[in-house]
Amino acid sequence: MIESDQINTTENTLYTEPLMEVRNISKRFPGVVALDDVSLQFLPGEVHAIVGENGAGKSTLMKIVAGAYTPDAGEIFLSGKKVSFAHPVEAQEKGISIIYQEFNLLPERTVAHNIFLGRESSKLGTLDVRKMNKEAVEVLKDLGVEKMISPTSLVSSLSVAEQQLLEIAKAISFKAKVLIMDEPTAALTYTEVDLLVNLIERLKQKGMAIIFISHRLKEVFDIAEKISVLKDGKLIKTVIKKDVTPSDVVFLMVGRTLDHYFPPLGMPEDFGDVALSVKNASNQILKDINFELRKGEVLGVAGLQGSGRTELAQSLFGVMPFKSGKMELHGKAIAVKTPSRAIKNRMGFVTEDRKSEGLTPRQPIRDNILLTVRSVRALLGLIFKDGVRSSRKLVPMLGQQVDIRTDSYDRETQFLSGGNQQKVVLAKWLASSADVFIFDEPTRGIDVESKAGIHDMIRGLTKKGTAVLMISSELPEIIGMSDRVLVMADHRIAGELPARSSEQEIMLVATGHSNDKNAEQNASAGEE
């Protein structure tokens, strides 16, 4: 409260009354405190950015404000009046609209039908399509995009940017006073972002309070007047944009020491020949990818959400193959067009989303571990309970190696904890005796103890000469594990940094500030 009073005195706007205020909001989920006593004020005609690392509680806060979650404690005030929402529709009716990260449109319906879904105009019980189309044009005019988007075109025929504009049009058509945008630019190109910036300027002038959540600091600094930093569910600080630099904000976001032990990095003598090299490779998403991965090395890949991190892994592994460029494995040119080709070339891929890509949760642990083995060598196409003779001891051996905690390998995998499930995925790839490993978010959502175990195992692999490409959104993990760091931005590799680079250095490259001379100066100023 004291903090927000200070904000009021420093803010030189006509409006002193906040349009919306949250006081002492807390929310816990089983095992985590998602929000801890957060208080914020949102003024009319102001863009208020909320930043923080993944899991800082940004989305939870926004879902509470929009009525999708109910807080465990705390209050929401709208124009000075206390409100509470049982359902998102109630929040919408009171003038709070949210644009979620993932699109919430019906692709096979027209623009007008999407805008007015659930509140269609009707005449004598029949739909007044003409009126809906006319009103849709009005809504689009409000945004100045009526020339780009026709009310009668199908949403599926619109570009991603146009769909984003339509989402905004739909949101403000509820007579919104508060507009929440959760990562609105994640799917947009830079020119499309400019369009969005102009639009937000327009909405600001109408006196709306805009809450802007983004990972891209550059845009936060382009758009917002005020920046609030959340970390681990707590409000760290609210700052006025003109008083701070991007590196100040980055420091607030990540300013902490590594809170977890990592195994020692590789020594120069550990690094062998080039195991995997990629030259000028591109496909529908990635542009001009160049890098080399050596034996015995952990190459970290950092980047913001949507920067192409996961797509890089998928391209290397043949899920979404490269269309041009060269890929060499142990000095031999190969074309990985399918995952099964990648497995035959002894590549392993531990996926980001273990539930949908890494495991078959209803199958026993045993079958999951043997999945890759069976896909490359089954005896005459037959499947045996323990695999073929040569691999009969494989399951217990690997199970012990990765330390799966279970009473039986015949237990369904879905009943294991997240950390143990991840170990099953690891065991599966160890079974394939791969020598080039791609890890995509190897420790997302698992407990600290399993995390340390997995980190030790990854380092153990490289000690045996395996090459590891590790993608992670957690900067401490990237810094703690990587012998070199590739930073991705905008579907390209934006830069390479040496081991033990700081989080600020990585974030500056990832947010597109490294090319900006001012930002670099700011960065060094911030470190002093």
- Residues near other proteins, by CB under 8 A: 88-89, 92, 104-109, 113, 117-120, 122, 125-127, 129
Distance from C-alpha of 17 to C-alpha of 41, rounded to nearest angstrom: 9
Give kind and range of the element (H or E) at residue 50: strand 46-51
Distance from C-alpha of 33 to C-alpha of 24, rounded to nearest angstrom: 14
- Shortest Cβ 126–other proteins spacing (Å): 5
- Shortest Cβ 310–other proteins spacing (Å): 20
3-class DSSP state of 224: coil
CB closer to other proteins out of 128 and 146: 128
**380 DSSP assignment:** T
- Shortest Cβ 163–other proteins spacing (Å): 13
- Shortest Cβ 120–other proteins spacing (Å): 5
- Shortest Cβ 155–other proteins spacing (Å): 10
Question: Among candidates 3, 482, 498, 12, which has minimal Cα distance to 225?
Answer: 12
CB closer to other proteins out of 322 and 429: 322
Distance from C-alpha of 339 to C-alpha of 325, rounded to nearest angstrom: 18
CB closer to other proteins out of 104 and 515: 104
> Could you tell me if 438 and 347 are in contact, meaning their C-beta atoms sit under 8 angstroms apart?
yes
CB closer to other proteins out of 14 and 124: 124
Per the rule left: phi > 0, alpha: psi between -120 and 50, beta: everything else, 493 is: beta
In sign, the C-alpha dihedral spanning 265, 269, 275, 277 is: positive
Q: Tabulate helix, strand, coil % of the chain (nearest 5).
A: 40, 25, 40
> Could you tell me if 319 and 347 are in contact, meaning their C-beta atoms sit under 8 angstroms apart?
no
- Shortest Cβ 113–other proteins spacing (Å): 6
CB closer to other proteins out of 80 and 107: 107
CB closer to other proteins out of 12 and 126: 126
- Shortest Cβ 313–other proteins spacing (Å): 22
CB closer to other proteins out of 99 and 253: 99
Question: Among candidates 49, 56, 35, which has minimal Cα distance to 231?
Answer: 56
